């Protein structure tokens, strides 16, 4: 079973176990039906090298605690040691392989590596939606050698994200944040055709404001995407979707916790000021659209959330979403972490475990890790 155990670590312990907890129902389902389960995941970006700080041992420890049973962790991904351990497994036992990305063949989707991954086992269960947009050996390649099916989390992700695209409740409002327009050009264009309102915050809003002619001082924006941003503004005027940009912004001269800040309209930002969050009037404006929506989809924080007090726009908007009557779907690692920190994750209807995968799914792309799966029935 391919899981997404790419979790943050701190002093050799799992700091946030949300991604581990998300696949526990699939694990318990398989074990209850007599499976011997071999788990595989990546952790971090070791780029084909064995990095001691990215070993899977803390994941095995935390998963064992959540399941209330031992999880044996191997120091290899494939080879005689793995084959022997799998052959000796009994029904109900769990084995976790070492970090897949310690092997160069993983990200290159090397066919021989995929074959060796598949060799000791009978069935491939994919429950790692967060990596489904990657054509890696463990997400797509193994399906050439053994039957591949969706796990319970993968099934839920496909159903919930499809619901946003195929049968949305209206008014439908999308909220997009994060630093860069370049990461979200295609999904923005899709949302202009799909949604009734598109609210834009975070660093990406700066690029649209700059395209409208505001100087924005020392604010970050993507100079090479100003024409693209203007074309998206033009498309929004023809699409029937209202594109809503910030009316005011929180600005600072130095991006550090507790630094001096002011609230300014975009046209007033100059000199060495830089925009780092949406302002209070924008929060109110966003709140009006949120409160009248029947469905909300949200990806990306609306300011520099990791540097208080520039998390305020995201915090207040999250509370608006959580308290609204709308059906809410949230995706993206940074934003999910923000909701967890605010204790609001339980008040959102569905939280996607994907970041890039969620965006690409919403764009309408066929994801390699889903394409290889047999019909989910």
CATH, domain range 9-154: 3.40.50.1260
Question: How open is the CA angle 2-79-370, to the nearest 5 degrees?
Answer: 20
Beta strands in 229-281 (DSSP E): 242-244, 249-252, 261-264, 274-278
Q: Which of 331, 333, 354, 355 is catalytic?
A: 333
Q: Bridge partners of 249?
A: 264, 278
76 included as an active-site residue: no
44 included as an active-site residue: no
CATH architecture of 168-363: 3-Layer(aba) Sandwich (3.40)
Q: Which of 76, 163, 180, 189 is catalytic?
A: 180
Residue 143: closest CA among 367, 302, 377: 367
217 included as an active-site residue: no
Query: What stretch(es) of the chain map to CATH 3.40.50.1260?
Result: 9-154, 168-363
Q: Which of 44, 64, 356, 365 is catalytic?
A: 356
Supply the pTM of this predicted model.
0.90
A 10 A CB-CB count for 217 gives 16
pLDDT by residue for the chain (377 residues), tens digit each?
A: 999 999 999 999 999 898 999 999 999 999 999 999 999 999 999 999 999 999 999 999 999 999 999 999 999 999 999 999 999 999 999 999 999 999 999 999 999 999 999 999 999 999 999 999 999 999 999 999 999 999 999 999 999 999 999 989 999 999 999 989 998 999 999 999 999 999 999 999 999 999 999 999 999 999 999 999 999 999 999 998 999 999 999 999 999 988 899 999 999 999 999 999 999 999 999 999 999 999 999 999 999 988 989 999 999 999 999 999 999 999 876 777 778 878 888 899 999 988 889 999 999 899 999 999 987 44
356 included as an active-site residue: yes
Over residues 269-308, the pLDDT tens digits come to 999 999 999 999 999 999 999 999 999 999 999 999 889 8
């Amino acid at each position: 079973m391919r899981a997404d155990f790419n979790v943050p670590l701190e002093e050799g312990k799992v700091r946030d176990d949300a991604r581990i907890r998300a696949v526990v129902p699939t694990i318990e389902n398989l074990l209850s039906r007599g499976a011997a389960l071999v788990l595989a995941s990546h952790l971090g970006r070791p780029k084909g090298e064995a990095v001691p700080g990215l070993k899977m041992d803390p994941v095995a420890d935390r998963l064992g605690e959540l399941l209330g049973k031992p999880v044996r962790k191997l120091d290899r991904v494939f080879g005689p040691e793995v084959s022997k351990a799998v052959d000796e497994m009994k029904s109900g036992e769990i084995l976790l392989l070492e970090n897949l990305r310690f092997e160069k063949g993983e990200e290159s989707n090397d066919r021989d590596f995929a074959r060796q991954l598949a060799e000791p086992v009978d069935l491939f269960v994919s429950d790692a939606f967060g990596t489904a947009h990657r054509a890696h050996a463990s997400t797509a390649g193994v399906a050439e050698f053994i039957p591949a099916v969706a796990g319970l989390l993968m099934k839920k992700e496909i159903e919930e994200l499809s619901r946003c695209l195929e049968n949305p409740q209206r008014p439908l409002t999308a909220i997009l944040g994060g630093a860069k327009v370049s990461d979200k050009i295609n999904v923005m264009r899709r949302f202009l055709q799909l949604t009734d309102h598109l609210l834009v915050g975070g660093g990406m809003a700066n690029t649209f404001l700059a395209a409208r002619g505001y100087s924005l001082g020392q604010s970050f924006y993507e100079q090479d995407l100003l024409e693209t941003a203007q074309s998206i503004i033009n498309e929004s005027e023809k699409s029937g979707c209202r594109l809503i940009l910030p009316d005011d912004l929180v600005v600072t001269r130095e991006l550090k916790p507790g630094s001096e800040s002011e609230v300014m309209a975009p046209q007033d930002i100059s000199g060495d000021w830089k925009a780092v969050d949406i302002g209070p009037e924008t929060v109110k404006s966003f709140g009006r659209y949120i409160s009248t929506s029947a469905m909300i989809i949200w990806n990306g924080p609306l300011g520099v959330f990791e540097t208080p007090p520039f998390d305020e726009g995201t915090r207040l908007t999250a509370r608006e979403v959580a308290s609204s009557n709308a059906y809410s779907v949230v995706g993206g690692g940074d934003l999910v972490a923000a909701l967890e920190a605010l204790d609001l994750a339980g008040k959102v209807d569905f939280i996607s475990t994907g970041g890039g995968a969620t965006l690409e799914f919403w764009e309408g792309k066929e994801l390699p890790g889903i394409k290889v799966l047999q019909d989910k029935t």
